[in-house]
């Protein structure tokens, strides 16, 4: 897998959020033209992309905001965790409580509670930029 794409309404806020999570901005650029319109199937497409990289790893997130055509907001705007489609992206963290506290300063809110899975993990779901659901996992052993 090369990357996971996430459409966001505020690219700067999303970059700041994922930077706080420990990802690094690999690059940022405008995407437009007939080649891009053909790939995504949208006419008059103009977007901006920020590629975020996991340090020392192969994983990347492609954060995208659309300037044209206008972005579509799902109904309801904040969907529950059991909504069909991409469910969530999980990140391994060294200190879940510290990471959650830092992400709250960027607007993140837990979906449920921090929970312990046996003696193996501390886990939680949270809402990040544009209402996307992320999961954090801290390995205990």
Q: According to the model, what pLDDT value does residue 74 have?
A: 80
Boundaries of every domain in the chain: 4-68, 89-139
pLDDT band at 2 (very low <50, low <70, confident <90, very high): confident
Confidence band, pLDDT 50/70/90 cuts, at residue 1: confident
Distance CA 68, CA 71 (A): 8
- The domain 89-139 having CATH identifier 1.10.3720.10: the answer here is no
Alpha carbons 32 and 53: distance in angstroms, whole number = 22
Output the pTM of the full model: 0.89
In tens, the pLDDT along 5-54 reads: 999 999 999 999 999 999 999 999 999 999 999 998 999 999 999 999 99
Q: What is the CATH number of domain 4-68?
A: 3.10.180.10
Please indicate whether the domains covering 4-68 and 89-139 agree at the CATH topology level.
yes
Residue-wise pLDDT tens digits, 91-120: 999 999 999 999 999 999 999 999 999 999
Report the pLDDT value the prediction gives residue 71, as an integer from 0 to 100: 87
Residue 125 pLDDT > 90: yes
What does the pLDDT read at residue 80?
Answer: 81
The pLDDT value recorded for residue 78 is 78
Residue partners of 118: CB distance under 8 A and separation at least 6 = none
pLDDT score recorded for residue 139: 96
Question: Residue range 114-135: average pLDDT?
Answer: 93
């Amino acid at each position: 897998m090369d990357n996971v794409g996430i459409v966001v309404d505020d690219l700067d806020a999303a970059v700041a959020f994922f930077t706080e999570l420990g990802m690094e901005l690999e690059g940022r650029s405008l995407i437009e033209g007939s080649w891009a319109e053909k790939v995504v199937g949208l006419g008059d497409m103009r977007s901006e992309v920020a590629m975020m990289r996991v340090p020392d790893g192969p994983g990347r997130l492609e954060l995208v905001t659309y300037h044209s055509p206008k972005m579509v907001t799902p109904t309801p705007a904040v969907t529950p965790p059991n909504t069909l489609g991409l469910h969530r992206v999980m990140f391994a963290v060294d200190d879940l409580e510290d990471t959650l506290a830092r992400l709250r300063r960027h607007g993140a809110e837990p979906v449920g509670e921090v929970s312990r899975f046996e003696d193996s993990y501390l886990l939680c779901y949270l809402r990040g930029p544009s209402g996307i659901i992320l999961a954090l996992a801290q390995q205990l052993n």
